[in-house]
Every structure is written in C-alpha cells, then in structure tokens.
Amino acid sequence: MERTTLDLWVGMFVVAGIGALVMLAMKVGNLGTYNMSESYQVQAYFSNIGGLKPKASIKSAGVLVGRVVDITLDTEKYEAKVVMSIDKRYQFPKDTFASILTSGLLGEQYIGLSAGGDTETLKAGEVIKQTQSATVLEDLIGKFIYNKASEPAK
Amino acid sequence: MTIANTIRGVGHRTVNAVWRIGLATRFFLQILRFSDTSFRRFRLIKKELFSTGVMSLIIIVVAGLFVGMVLGLQGYETLKRYGSESALGVMVALGLVRELGPVVAALLFASRAGSAMTAEIGLMKATEQISAMEMMAVNPIARIVAPRFWAGVISMPLLAALFSAMGIFGGYFVGVVQIGVDEGSFWSQMQAAVDFKHDIMNGVLKSFVFGTVVTVIALFEGYDAPPTAEGVSGATTRTVVTSSLAILMLDFVLTAMMFGGA
C-alpha cells in the first residue's frame, strides 16, 4: 500500500479512537459537568445522611447548583459533616434549609436547598444551620408498625 | 504402575506449562529490550497499526453497536419492572465502559488480529524468513516482533474506547429513539453516575493490560510454533484459546482490584 494512504488510514484510526475516548469523557463521564467555573464551599451537619455519597448533586428547585465534596463524621457532635461546593453564580440566604432527598423511589440521594427569607447570603465556609436528615426506610416502617400497634383495637 | 504414570503425566504437563510461561516472560522482556528500533523507525509500527488497528475497526464498530443495542433492550426489560427505566443510560454506560468494552473488544481483537499475527509469524518461521534475517544480522525481534507488539498495545485501548462509544450509541438508539426512554434522564443520570477517573480510566487501563497480554501471547505462539503447516495451525488455535481465557481471568482479577474494595 502506498505510504500516504497508509498514513491516512492509521491517522483516521487514531483520531477516531481518541475521539471516542474524549466523547466518553465529556458526554458519558462527568468531566464536562464537573469543573464548575467558580464555586464556594459551605458546610452542613446532618444527624443521618442515609446513602449520600461524595459527588452527589446539590439541587435547588430541581436545578443542579453544586456537588458534595466531602463527608466526615464530626466526633464532637457525632453528626455527619457534609462539605458542599456551590456554584458562585448562585447565592443563598443565610437561613437556607438543606434536606437530604431521594430522586425517585429507589434513586440516588441528593441535597435539596430551599431558600429562606434572610437578606444576608451564605459566605464561603459558613454553616447551614437548618437541616433535615435522610429518611431511612427502616425508621419509617418502624414508626408505622408502632403507630399501628398503639391504635386501640376495634 | 498406571497410577505412577498418570502422576508422572500430570507432573510433566505442569512443568511444561510453567516452562512455557517462563519462556513467554523472557520473550516479553526481550521485546521490551529491543523496542528502541521500532520507535526510531516509527514507520514499522505504523504499518502494523494499519493491519491490527484499522483492519479491526469494522468488526469492533459493528459488534459494539449490536452489543449496546442488546444491552438497551435487555436493560429496559429488567429496569421496567422496578419503574426505573431512566437508569437505562447508567446501566448501558457502566456496563460498557467498565466491562464489556475492554473485554469484548479484547476478545474480538484476539481472534481478529492476534490469530493473524500468530499465523504470519509462524509462517515466516516455517518458510525460514526469520532464520534468513538472523543470517543477515538483522534482529528478528527488533524488526518483526516489537513493532507488532507496540501496535497492539497502542490500538487496543483505542478499539475498546470505540467499542464503548458505539455501544452507548446503540443503547441510546434502542432505548431513547425506539422505546422512548426520556432522553434527558438517559444522559444526565449517565453523567451523574459515570466517573471519569474511576470508571473510564480504569476501563482504559484494563484494555491496555489486555492489549499487552493478547499481543504477547499471539507473538510468542507464532515465534514458538513448530515450523510446519500443522504447527502453525495449532499455534493459531492456541493463541485464540489462551488469550481468551487470559482476558477473562485477568478481567476478574483487575475488576476485583479496581472496583472490589469500593
């Protein structure tokens, strides 16, 4: 085979392969959505985070505004300390309410932020005071059974 | 007497197997040692890239497309029962990027390119071309074997990435275009669940390992083949069988190391 045709084919093969890899990284992986331009970090304490994982999404009114960076156990309060990275474009009032929600019945868990009415906004490094822990299915079932049992028999 | 013979047979086979593994390792080290020529004359690798990479493109693209389409169909059937069809994208993407892409592409590569390599080198040996090279003081490992090895190592991750990309496209086609899963959740859940480093790079690493193993086995079997028609055909068969088994076993080991602890 002629040298230039061979070079052309090999070049096309390599470009196609690398193109596929880039497409995987951008379209399939989270590399494209990941590096939010600029962000600030806030913290929140939850008594139970359920199945929340690092990199879980943070949504407000259903819009993706940030991601969970780090989850650790605070050994003073014995509560989970969740560090969140939120896009700089979105500012939240100081009395924002953070709750751990589940997308769908058995879907992944995420943090939902609902804004309060405070005029001051959250600054980097500050703590979201009002939080609601994840709903643990076992607790829910336990409560249900307890309520049933305490009902007077008819 | 027969018992002693049987035991002797087992021992003989074990020693033989270990002996061959040792020979293959030495062969691999020799390839690495004499690789400098093929990088100084990159044209040698390019020629092999054409016959291993470019010629495998069609089988990889078609196979990837259909594997993805089947994944889309089967995944939808199963996920529908739990009302989570929107997770179809996650299932297709993770299945392809982590496992099916590297493994099936490597299996196809072993039977498409690996067998050709073995047959080619075996026939070169049978027609005494390799001896002729040695007579002319040309190192056959540097001139014939090393370029093929590097071409295999380079093309395998690219082929696996193409396979995964085509498969995801196939899954998208069946799931979104034909069945009607929501397009937005198909892509967004996929992007939320697939991690670049943890999933995609580990898949690339896997295919890199498979590429190395398959090409070393193919080249070794060819170089080691008895110089007869029967010997070459036996070596070609052994290449496909051994490298397929090696891929599947190594895949388990690699998966256990990469994803087992998480």
Residue A12's pLDDT band (boundaries 50, 70, 90)? confident
Q: Work out the average pLDDT over B41-69.
A: 90
What's the CA gap between A27 and A40, in Å, rounded? 25
DSSP, collapsed to helix, strand or coil, labels residue B37 as helix
Instruction: Determine what percent of chain A is predicted with pLDDT higher than 90.
Output: 0
Residue B108's pLDDT is what?
Answer: 94
pLDDT tens sequence across B207-243: 999 999 999 999 999 998 898 989 999 999 999 999 9
The per-residue DSSP string of B160-224 comes to HHHHHHHHHHHHHIIIIIII---HHHHHHHHHHH--IIIIIIHHHHHHHHHHHHHHHHHHHHHHH
Q: Name which residue leads in pLDDT, B133 or A4.
A: B133
Cα dihedral A91, A97, A98, A102 sign: negative
Using an 8 Å CB-CB cutoff, list chain B residues near A57: 192
**Does position A36 have pLDDT exceeding 80, yes or no?**
no
CB contact under 8 A, A29 and B199: yes
Q: How far is A19 from chain B (nearest CA, A)?
A: 8
Q: Count residue pairs from A and B with Cβ separation < 8 A.
A: 91
Distance, in Å, from the CA atom of A108 to the CA atom of B190, rounded to the nearest integer, reads: 12
Q: Please, where are the H alpha helices in chain B? A: 2-33, 36-40, 42-52, 57-81, 88-94, 101-109, 115-126, 129-135, 140, 146-172, 183-193, 202-224, 229-259
Task: Write down the pLDDT at residue B251.
Answer: 93
Please, are residues A67 and A52 in contact by the beta-carbon 8 Å criterion? no
Contacts of A10 in chain B (CB under 8 A): 46, 49-50, 53-54
Put simply, the answer to whether A13 touches B157 (Cβ < 8 Å) is no
Residue A5: CB atoms within 10 A of its CB come to 10
The residue behind tokens 């092999």 is B48
How many Å apart are CA B162 and CA A91, to the nearest integer? 41
**Record: contact A9-B204, CB cut-off 8 A:** no
Q: Write the single-letter amino acid at B112.
A: R
Nearest residue on chain A to B92, judged by CA atoms?
A28
State phi, psi for A107 to the nearest 5 degrees. -75, -175
Contacts 24+ apart (CB under 8 A), A2-9: A6/B46, A6/B47, A6/B50, A7/B46, A9/B50, A9/B54
pLDDT of residue A137: 76
Residue in A with minimal Cα distance to B97 = A24
pLDDT tens digits for range A128-149: 888 888 777 778 888 888 888 8
d(CA B195, CA A30): 6
Model pLDDT, residue A77: 85
Q: What pLDDT digit, counting tens, does each position of B159-175 carry?
A: 999 999 999 999 999 98
Classified as helix, coil or strand, A45 is strand
CB-based contact A43:A128 (threshold 8 Å): yes
Q: For residue B128, give every residue at least 6 positions away whose Cβ sits within 8 Å of its Cβ, in sequence order, or none.
A: B227
Q: What is the pLDDT of residue A144?
A: 86
Q: What is the mean pLDDT of chain B?
A: 90
Note whether A91 and A121 are within 8 A (CB).
yes
Chain A residues within 8 A of B168 when measuring between CB atoms: 24, 28
Q: What's the pLDDT at B62?
A: 95
Please answer yes or no on whether A108 and B199 come within 8 Å at the CB atom. no
| Minimal CA separation from A149 to chain B, in Å | 30
> Which of A14, A32, A34 minimises the CB distance to B158?
A14
Contacts of B158 in chain A (CB under 8 A): 13-14, 16-18, 20-21
C-alpha span between A33 and A12 (Å, rounded): 28
Residues recorded for chain A = 154
Which residues touch B21 (CB under 8 Å, ≥6 apart)? Answer: none
Facing A13 at nearest CB: one of B86, B158, B168: B158
Q: Is the pTM of this model over 0.80?
A: no
Sheet holding A57-60, edge to edge: A127-128, A39-46, A79-87, A63-74, A57-60, A109-114, A97-102, A130-132
Say what the pLDDT of residue A31 is: 59
Please answer yes or no on whether A25 and B200 come within 8 Å at the CB atom.
yes
Distance separating the N- and C-terminal Cα atoms of chain B: 53
Model pLDDT, residue A32: 53
